[in-house]
A and B are shown apart, each in its own frame.
Chain A
């Protein structure tokens, strides 16, 4: 979109950008409103991510003019998306224990050396317990 535009085209683009900005405003209000419906977690995550993806799509497609770009940028972004998917898949693989199980036993043995047994046994999994009481400390804070 770095080529020259006629004044009519420029006006049209300017109008489009304001309209898309308005749609993003409305979608933001929708996201916040849905959060106060107290949907079940899975449904809340689904709705929040769907709306965020729609908003993200508008920003990337219209604002960053990806709807009509050069081939090189698409190729670059496809490569980025592939690696991004791998990044996002890591937690799923870890949760499925296909990553964690392979690396944990030797790491745990090393950690336990010189210690009495049991303390570091689930070194990679016990952080949830630590935060459980710490979270409660913050939950009543800040209502304004």
Chain B
């Protein structure tokens, strides 16, 4: 950052909270995300218990694709942690490798998701088809947008943001840590989306 204004407590903990501002900020953001996805889960329950007929997930959705997507997200959560841990160990090269693996896995998730959507569209199934598909496309679409958001953030770090490591290594590690927290949340949401939409 070439700015003359120094942002306080980006690395060292704030005396009041005991946390860096970055970490407090990401947790506040994640709390709002809990409410956002919570509203959709609540809607899903409401629609489902109010419906006279609700399809069994495996009969209408592609479970194998969603299963592999679950594995990709879990694995990517581990690799982003390894990217952060590698920085703690002072091994930036390894951290970069793990970051690229994370981006690769997240991209695979989006590729499989686009296969899933395109199959639906080719069968004439759209969000307006019925209530089930409306909530399916809304929830998986919103989640996919979060995955794309994660890819953008990680790609920024892998391509440009990593230069900060040369001047402010701790601050850079903090950035990887907080973006990792966001990524685990995206994983966490999928862990609940997968069974509720695809398996029940």
Q: Are B181 and A142 in contact (CB under 8 A)?
A: no
CB distance from A14 to the nearest CB of B (A): 5
Q: Tell me whether B59 is interfacial, beta carbon within 8 Å.
A: yes
Q: Are A28 and B71 in contact (CB under 8 A)?
A: yes
Q: Are B191 and A56 in contact (CB under 8 A)?
A: yes
CB distance from A66 to the nearest CB of B (A): 10
Q: Tell me whether B70 is interfacial, beta carbon within 8 Å.
A: yes
Q: Are B85 and A17 in contact (CB under 8 A)?
A: yes
Q: A71-B18, A91-B49, A95-B50 are in contact. Are A138 and B125 (CB under 8 A)?
A: yes
Q: How many A-B residue pairs have CB under 8 A?
A: 185
Contact of B70 among A1, A10, A28, A135 (CB under 8 A): A28
Q: Are B50 and A72 in contact (CB under 8 A)?
A: no
Residues of B within 8 A of A36 (CB): 58
Of residues 70 through 120 on chain A, the ones whose CB sits less than 8 Å from some CB of chain B are 70-73, 76-77, 79-80, 83-84, 87-88, 90-91, 94-95
Q: Tell me whether B75 is interfacial, beta carbon within 8 Å.
A: yes
CA distance A128 to B187 in the complex (A): 31
CB distance from A60 to the nearest CB of B (A): 6
* Interface residues of A, dominant DSSP: helix
CA distance A62 to B119 in the complex (A): 36
Interface residue count on the A side (C-beta < 8 Å)? 64
CB distance from A9 to the nearest CB of B (A): 9
Q: A17-B82, A28-B70, A63-B184 are in contact. Are A91 and B46 (CB under 8 A)?
A: yes
Residues of A within 8 A of B23 (CB): 2
CA distance A66 to B157 in the complex (A): 25
CA distance A83 to B120 in the complex (A): 35
Residues of A within 8 A of B88 (CB): 4-5, 10
CB distance from B9 to the nearest CB of A (A): 12
Q: Tell me whether B78 is interfacial, beta carbon within 8 Å.
A: yes
Q: A35-B63, A36-B58, A52-B191 are in contact. Are A135 and B200 (CB under 8 A)?
A: no
Q: Tell me whether B19 is interfacial, beta carbon within 8 Å.
A: yes
B-side interface size class? 35 or more
Residues of A within 8 A of B49 (CB): 91, 95
Residues of B within 8 A of A83 (CB): 35, 38
Q: A72-B17, A129-B52 are in contact. Are A48 and B85 (CB under 8 A)?
A: no
Q: Are B129 and A70 in contact (CB under 8 A)?
A: no
CB distance from A53 to the nearest CB of B (A): 8
Q: A2-B177, A51-B195, A80-B34 are in contact. Are A141 and B17 (CB under 8 A)?
A: no
Of the stretches B130-138, B147-155, B159-167, the one at the interface is: B130-138
Q: Are A91 and B74 in contact (CB under 8 A)?
A: no
Q: Are B131 and A41 in contact (CB under 8 A)?
A: no
Contact of B119 among A2, A31, A90, A142 (CB under 8 A): A142
Q: Tell me whether B31 is interfacial, beta carbon within 8 Å.
A: yes
Contact of A128 among B50, B67, B74 (CB under 8 A): B50
Nearest B-chain residue to A85, judged by Cβ: B38
Q: Are B38 and A84 in contact (CB under 8 A)?
A: yes
Q: Are B131 and A127 in contact (CB under 8 A)?
A: yes
CA distance A44 to B131 in the complex (A): 22
A-B contact pairs, 5 of them (CB 8 A): A4-B88, A10-B88, A17-B85, A52-B195, A91-B42
